[in-house]
Amino acid sequence: MSRQLAIYNLYPTVRFATESSAVDDDGNEVTVDADLIATEVTRLQLADYENLRIVKYPSWGDFADAIYWEKKGDNSKMTAWVAACQKVKSDLPKPG
């Protein structure tokens, strides 16, 4: 995740930012806190990861159907549902 986005989020007066500097509307350099920036970058990464995973996981309806068929003696849908969840976890591992 870009440090630039983190800077824009934390310093609303910044109108131009690079990975290492920021300037406000009047052209004045804005001093940024590296620790705050690092924390915001981590927050953004986690939010991005969570949003990506949410849309990739199989539905709860599919899970309910898998439970039903598992109770009827057919484990194939539950096996497929768990495999789909594992694929999401391996394709989009938790950052940090």
Is residue 2 a contact partner of residue 46, using CB atoms and an 8 Å limit? no
CB atoms within 10 A of CB 55: 7
Domain ranges of the chain: 1-48, 57-96
Q: Does pTM surpass 0.85?
A: no
Written as tens digits, the pLDDT of the chain (96 aa) is 478 888 888 888 888 887 767 888 888 898 888 899 889 988 888 888 888 898 999 999 999 999 999 999 999 999 999 999 999 999 988 876
Ordered alpha helix ranges (H), the chain: 3-10, 34-56, 60-71, 76-91
Alpha-carbon gap, residue 15 to 77, rounded angstroms: 52
What one-character DSSP code corresponds to residue 3? H
